[in-house]
Amino acid sequence: MLDRFLDKSLLGYTSLGYRWRPHSTIDADLTGTAAVVTGATSGLGKYTATALAHLGASVWIVGRDRDRTQQAARAIAEQTGNDAVHVEVADLSLMSDVRALAGRLQTPIHILVNNAGVLLPTRSETTEGIETTFATNLLGQFLLTNLLVPKLASSAPARIVNVSSGGMYAQRILVKDLQNVRGTYDGAKAYARTKRGQVILTEMWAEALAPRGIVVHAMHPGWADTPGVSTSLPRFYKLTKPLLRSPAQGADTIVWLCAADEAARCTGKFWHDRTPRPTHRFARTRETAEEREALWSELCRYSGWSGTLESLAENE
């Protein structure tokens, strides 16, 4: 009863919502498991990488800045006593970097956490001519995941966790304006649309990859006190700071989806506080089957990836 109230209330996004819901200790043994975590130099990504290393996993942390990524890796190794924390430097808004990263990751991969993301106040484009929010949050994730599917499948059972946002509830995917060129640019809306796209891809990947032993889930962390929130949404941060979740609380469901047995018994769900949630609150945000197919085609076109869902489902 309390959970249902919180799920329909913004209180459920806060630290109070986290405290009022039960969260048992995650005691899985991930020794022998290899995990890749993007956007892992701070906030939710860093905490997720730390928690997975603490559980015994070998962790590859991905960041844009070499010095920050190396510092994060050293801190995680020291905190957990796990020396198997590896550094990968890549700008996931650049498809050339994504391809190079996928080529360097030669180890078997059991867990992929797609956490890297940006929320920008003004529209900008990458050096490859792609709008930055779209490129970072959706296009790069699409390409990296597809390129790593063979490594995940060879390590099955494997898991993919896509870190979305509750903000996606307010937006629908705009397939004809993925680069946000129409009208006045709104950074929060552009961000939320990419997060909607992540949830759509989660469901598409889940169906295609289930026969290959790969579970795919999306989640939203609630309102967490992270550097990304404080810099990208300063007014929101100032107003809500007393109620924001800690990075550990925000990342709890990410870690649970990576490690818990229960999370491997289903696929294609959207989670918050370890419970599957609806993917739509409003009819106006629902996409059609044709829009899903068009989204996949556009992501292939922009990323240069020529595969299909059917090809991902096939054993290679």
Domain ranges in the chain are: 29-313
Residue 56 CB neighbour total at 10 angstroms: 17
CATH architecture, domain defined by 29-313: 3-Layer(aba) Sandwich (3.40)
End-to-end CA distance of the chain: 47
What pTM was estimated for this model as a whole?
0.96
Catalytic positions, written as ranges? 191
Per-residue pLDDT of the chain in tens (316 residues, 90 and over written 9): 788 877 877 888 999 999 989 899 999 999 999 999 999 999 999 999 999 999 999 999 999 999 999 999 999 999 999 999 999 999 999 999 999 999 999 889 999 999 999 999 999 999 999 999 999 999 999 999 999 999 999 999 999 999 999 999 999 999 999 999 999 999 999 999 999 999 999 999 999 999 999 999 999 999 988 877 777 778 887 888 888 999 999 999 999 999 999 999 999 999 999 999 999 999 999 999 999 999 999 999 999 999 899 999 886 5
Rounded Cα–Cα distance for residues 197 and 162 (Å): 11
Q: Is 62 helix (H, G, I), strand (E, B) or coil?
A: strand
Q: Is the distance from CB of 312 to CB of 205 less than 8 angstroms?
A: yes
Q: Starting at the earlier edge strand, list the strands of the sheet with 158-163.
A: 85-89, 58-63, 34-38, 111-114, 158-163, 214-219, 270-272, 275-276
